[in-house]
Amino acid sequence: MEILMSVVIGILFMVATYLILTKSLLRIVIGTGIISHAVHLLILTMAGVKTGSPPLLGEEAALYTDPLPQALILTAIVISFGVTGFFCVLAYRAYKELGTDDMDQLRGNEHE
Amino acid sequence: MAWLQLVILSPFILAIFIPFLYKYVRQIHTGWFVLILPVLLFSYLIQFLPVVSNGETVQHTVEWIPSLNINFTAYVDGLGLLFALLITGIGSLVVLYSIYYLSKEKEALNSFYVYLLMFMGAMLGVVLSDNLIVLYVFWELTSLASFLLIAYWYQREKSRYGAQKSMLITVFGGFAMFAGIILLYLMTGTYSIREIIAQVGTISTHELFLPAMLLILLGAFTKSAQFPFHIWLPDAMEAPTPVSAYLHSATMVKAGIYLVARLSPIFAGQAEWFWLVAGFGIVTLFWGSFSAVKQTDLKSILAFSTVSQLGLIMCLLGLGSAAVHFGYSKENAIYTTATLAAIFHLINHATFKGALFMVVGIVDHETGTRDIRKLGGLMSLMPITFTLAIIGTFSMAGLPPFNGFLSKELFFTGVLNASQLDIFNMQTWGMIFPVLAWAASVFTFIYSMVLVFKTFTGKYQPEKLDKKPHEAPIGMLIPPIILASLVVIFGIFPNLLSYTLIEPAMASILPSLLAPEQQFYVNIYHWHGWTTELFMTMGVIAVGTILYFTLTRWSGIYNKFPKRLALNHFYDHGLISMERVANKITRFHMTGFMRDYLVYIFAFLIVLLGGGLFTLNAFSFGQGQVAPIGVYEVILALVMVCAAVAVPFAESRLTAILLVGVVGFSVALFFVIFRAPDLALTQLIVETVSTALFLLCFYHLPKLRKEISRVPFKATNFLISLGVGVVMMLIAFSAIDNRLFVPISEYFLEASYKEAGGRNVVNVILVDFRGFDTMLEILVLGIAALAVFSMIKLRLARREDFENQ
């Protein structure tokens, strides 16, 4: 199972990196979204995805899954959501002010 | 704090009060207040003469940084005292001279005297310190003070150029010297010169010994303007003339000489030391005197002359170091003659060169020019100045009965002895010393004559002069008169100096040669028989006179010298091309394209992480315990991968957003499968909101265009992203197999209900065990919300500003 997940994570990283290297600001925003998905899955996979009950003690199971990575990922999801939200507005503002979403034209050194 | 430390620090203390004196006592020239200090210091230091000539030394230590072995140790011996007397003595005369030279109304006297006092204190610190780090601190302070003084008239471009040049060169050397000091410390474990000398026997075979010697010599050569580092000195002539007289002839440029003399007990006796010091010295001597002849500016002539005389002293110190090989007794005193000559010439040079600079300053002050092509016939107008110039230049040229004659004779004796040596390959190369020395003396004779006769004799050309020349005020004449009298007195009674100053200084330079209670034999006399030296001097005068009268016929050879090979050309173009190359390198990698920087970062990540995995053999595969694969997971993984891979190919923004949504929701489903209900919930909500946000935001952005770029561009992007993906995949693989210890989750599962009273372990961790993370995460969300708000609001505010303008 972990092997399969590792391959999936690798592909997600690859796609995200490719998107981040492109010129369009839109694709870059999307790339960052995908890279955060990949990271979340990576944290989960590295902790091991052994089967067991969800970490709810009412289940009274013999074996629970590891609760700590879940807590970490929950924090990470919220933070990356905050950053993505800000990034979207930033892209929107940049486009409104500068009239382009092409990263090649968004070089800041025209006045040097 | 002992008196000695106070001697060193007193100029700095006085410097603090100078601006107040300048501001509140306007009617008196600030220089008069300054003058008191060097006179006091000189009379205090002269008390040490009897002590030092008995072969005793004085030492006082004040702790500075004892934990690092750095203590402020003041140490007075023959060499230190000689220099300290020169610094305070000539310092007094220069201050007196500057009172008449610099106008009270027009010049910023406060900064001038602050810099000058700072220099004086730093220079005293250099020559009276026993601790090498303290010496280095004062050494750099002299560079700094010299920089400030050269650029005293900072409105002139040439002053700034000269100051920058001297700063770059001397600080470069100073830094090398610092490295050399640290190497010495590594070998001996002490910064004290005394203690290092005591360990000479054990360190001279150490592998760091030679590097330390080279680095320290680099410092000494740059400071003392030795070839090829002499180029800063002629440009330093943009400083006011009192500064040139003080710093750039009598004191600072001798700091390198001092360093070589002071560290001679450590390095003397080594062939490298002998050849480097003597070789660079003799080349500098020749090159300086050769270049001086072509100058037309009086101060430039003196600058090159200083370069050449410094080379002479340096060469003698190098030749004198050979004496360590032969030991000392009264019969073979000839080997130490070179050292004797070096000390004697050091004193003589300070006297006559100081006087000559002051004379040139007077000529400049009274006529408004220093160009010898405009000057001439001033003899009858300025008789006193003319007399002083005659004494100075004849002494410089080495004519009897002045002191320059004596030291030049001793110099010839030194080089002739050296050519007879049978060590260090001197049998084959020894003859270059007397030959070059003789040639250099001829040129010295020529420029000395040019200096005095082109200025004071010949045709008087009043139409070329800005002012009507007349004799200088008496205050301006007193300092050069004192110096010129010293030239004459030392010339006629040289043995006044022999056992008071010269012998103690020799004992500090060559301490290993003397048995206890033994002294060097010093006797300088005018008439020493029909020796080779005397014939050499006659030859100098004869050939020099002929060449002086035929100067116009052969001075054309100076124009033949290719400009491209000039050292200044190397320096200027070196600086320019250094800047250009640095610019080019920066432009090459700092392109301004975000994509390029990301490529660097990703490439670095691939190389470092991938290479790390490879070289550390960290990669492993399939040995750990893995969970079985179910059919749902495979289907879900396929859906997610297909959606993700399709994103870059999407041609409309709606498709792209939907595809990203598919990826996000599959992640949520994975969370369900992996038994993480809270994660699944959060992911679902966040994904929904994000998708909505994307839709809202992208509605205002332009349509997603197809990436139109060249194929190689895409190929590199693809390769790099492939690399990143593979590396991350390998890391994930390795993580499965390298589980080093049991996770602490058991604790959370056990304590969750017992200690925190909650059954949902994830939530208990979030708000109870690790509540701090959650608090800051809330802060992040809050900041993001505020940032979004202000991004939108602030735009409107700026618009209004624009409209109002």
B413 touches B434 (CB < 8 A): no
Residue B89 pLDDT: 92
Angstroms from B619 CA to nearest CA on chain A: 14
Q: Hey, which residues 610-649 in chain B have their CB within 8 Å of chain A?
A: 622, 624-630, 633-634, 637, 640-641, 644-645, 647-648
| Mean pLDDT, residues B373-383 taken together | 82
Tell me: cis bond preceding B469? Omega within 30 of 0 counts: no
pTM equals 0.82
Looking at per-residue confidence, does A104 or B151 come out higher? B151
What pLDDT is recorded for position B563?
67
Q: Is it the case that residue B798 has pLDDT exceeding 60?
A: no
In angstroms, rounded to a whole number, what is the distance separating the alpha carbons of residues B724 and B603?
Answer: 8
Q: Phi/psi at B138 (nearest 5 deg)?
A: -70, -35
Residue B668, pLDDT > 50, answer yes
pLDDT in tens, B349-371: 999 999 999 999 988 888 888 88
The continuous run of DSSP H or E covering A52 comes out as none
Are B274 and B184 spatial neighbours (Cβ–Cβ below 8 Å)?
A: no
In chain B, what residues touch A96 (CB-CB under 8 Å)? 700, 795
pLDDT at A112 over 50: no
State mean pLDDT over B448-458: 86
Q: What is the pLDDT of residues B274-302, one digit of tens each?
A: 888 988 999 999 999 988 888 888 899 99
Please tell me the predicted confidence (pLDDT) of residue B37.
92
Tell me which chain B residue has its CA closest to the CA of residue A43.
B732
B705: nearest CA partner in chain A: A24
User: Which 695-734 residues of chain B touch chain A by CB within 8 A?
Assistant: 697-698, 700-702, 704-705, 707, 709, 717-718, 720-722, 724-726, 728-729, 732-733
pLDDT of residue B706: 59
For residue B689, pLDDT beyond 70: yes
Q: Which of B788, B191, B179, B645 is nearest to A85 (CA)?
A: B788
> Can you name the residues that pair with B70 across neighbouring β-strands?
B65
Taking the C-alpha atoms of residue B653 and residue A87, their distance in angstroms, rounded to an integer, is 17
Nearest CB to A95: which of B633, B676, B701? B701
Tell me what the mean pLDDT of segment B190-204 comes to.
Answer: 86
B623/B641 Cα distance (integer angstroms): 26
Average pLDDT over residues B188-203: 86
Please state whether beta strands B70-76 and B58-65 pair in parallel, antiparallel, or not at all (unpaired). Answer: antiparallel
Written as six digits, the tokens of B366 are 């009274």
In the block, residue with structure tokens 């070789």: B279
Q: In chain B, which residues have their Cβ closer than 8 Å to the Cβ of A67?
A: 745, 748-749, 761-762, 765
Average pLDDT over every residue of B202-224 = 90
Q: What is residue B61's three-state secondary structure?
A: strand
User: At B275, which amino acid appears?
Assistant: W
Distance, C-alpha B169 to centroid of its chain: 6
Residues B781, A82: C-beta atoms closer than 8 Å: yes
- Mean pLDDT of chain B, nearest integer: 86
Chain B residues near residue A109 by CB distance under 8 angstroms: 592
Q: How far apart are CA B684 and CA B680, in angstroms?
A: 6
ipTM summary value: 0.94
| Distance from the first to the final alpha carbon of chain B | 66
CA–CA distance, A81 with A74 (Å, rounded to integer): 11
